Amino acid sequence: MRDADTDAVVALWHAAGVSRPWNDPVTDLAFARRSPHATVLVAADHRRILATAMVGEDGHRDWVYYVAVDPAHQGTGLGAAVMEAAEGWLRRRGIWKVQLLVRADNAATRHFYEHRGYQDTRTLCLQKIIGEAAG
C-alpha cells in the first residue's frame, strides 16, 4: 500500500462491509503502516484497489485483519490471492501461526476461511480498551 491509496482502501473496506463504526479505518491504517511488524497488502488493477489484507505479527503469531474484496470482484479468487500473499509475507518473516477473527453470525466468511484450512480453536477473545487510539 502507498500513502496515496488510503482513501481508496477505506472506501473498499466500507463497500466490502469489513469496517465497523467503532474502528476508525484511517487510524487503523496509520497504526499498521508505521510498524515494522505489520503491512497492508493490496491487489489492484490499473485503475483501483480491488482487495486488501492488513497483516501484523508479534514474533510468535500473526493476525490478519481487513481482508476485503471489491463486491463486484468477489468470487473471482482475489480473496484467496490476498490471503496467500498475507501468509507468504508471514512465512518470509518466520511466523508459523496465523489467527483472525470472524463474527459468529458471518457464515459465508467462516466458510471462506475454513475452506482454506483455518479452524475454530474454541478460544474466547477478550478485549479491554485501555486508552484512546493514537492517530
- Identify whether 90 is part of a domain: yes
| 23, 53 contact by CB (below 8 A) | no
> What residues contact residue 72 under an 8 Å CB cut-off, 6+ apart?
none
Does residue 132 lie within any of the structural domains? Answer: no
Does a structural domain hold residue 10?
yes
Q: Provide the residue-wise pLDDT of the chain in tens; the chain has 135 residues.
A: 998 999 999 999 999 999 888 889 999 999 999 999 999 999 999 889 999 999 999 877 899 999 999 999 999 999 999 999 999 999 999 998 999 999 888 999 999 999 999 999 999 889 898 987 655
Range of the domain at 45: 3-115
Q: What is the CATH number of the domain that holds 96?
A: 3.40.630.30
In a domain, 51, yes or no: yes
Place of cell 459468529: 104
What is the tally of structural domains in the chain? Answer: 1
Q: Rounded to whole angstroms, how far apart are CA atoms 129 and 111?
A: 30
What is residue 61's predicted lDDT score, i.e. its pLDDT? 83
Residue 104 belongs to some domain of the structure: yes
* pLDDT for res 133: 64
